[in-house]
Copies of this chain bind each other. A is one copy, B any other.
Amino acid sequence: MSDSDTTRQPAKKGRPGYDQQAVLDVAVAAFIEHGYDATSMGVLASRLGLSKAAIYHHFPAKDQLLGAALSEALDSLEGVLAEPGAISGNAAARLAHVIRGAVRVLVNKLPYVTLLLRVRGNTEVERDALRRRREFDHNVTALVEAARAEGSLRDDIDPRVVTRLLFGMINSIAEWYRPGGPESADQLADDVLAMALDGLSTAPGT
Q: CB within 8 Å of B: which residues of A?
A: 33-35, 37-38, 118, 120, 122, 151-154, 156-158, 161-162, 164-173, 175-176, 182-183, 188, 191-206
Contact = CB atoms under 8 A, between A and B. Distances in A.
The 8 closest A-B pairs by CB, nearest first: A168-B172, A199-B199, A37-B37, A197-B201, A198-B199, A37-B38, A169-B169, A168-B169
B168 A202 contact: no
Nearest to A197: B201
A157 B191 contact: yes
A205 B199 CA distance: 10
Given A165-B169, A197-B200, 8 more contacts: A152-B203, A158-B182, A161-B188, A164-B173, A168-B171, A168-B175, A171-B172, A196-B200
A125 B201 CA distance: 38
A120 to B, nearest CB: 5
Contact of A195 (B37, B173, B194, B196): B196
Contacts of A197: 199-201, 206
A146 B154 CA distance: 29
A176 B164 contact: yes
B195 A157 contact: yes
23 contacts: A34-B120, A35-B35, A38-B120, A118-B118, A153-B201, A154-B194, A154-B202, A156-B194, A161-B191, A162-B200, A165-B169, A165-B191, A165-B192, A168-B170, A168-B173, A168-B175, A169-B169, A169-B172, A195-B199, A197-B200, A198-B199, A198-B204, A198-B205
A172 B167 contact: yes
Given A38-B122, A120-B33, A202 B152 contact: yes
A94 B193 CA distance: 25
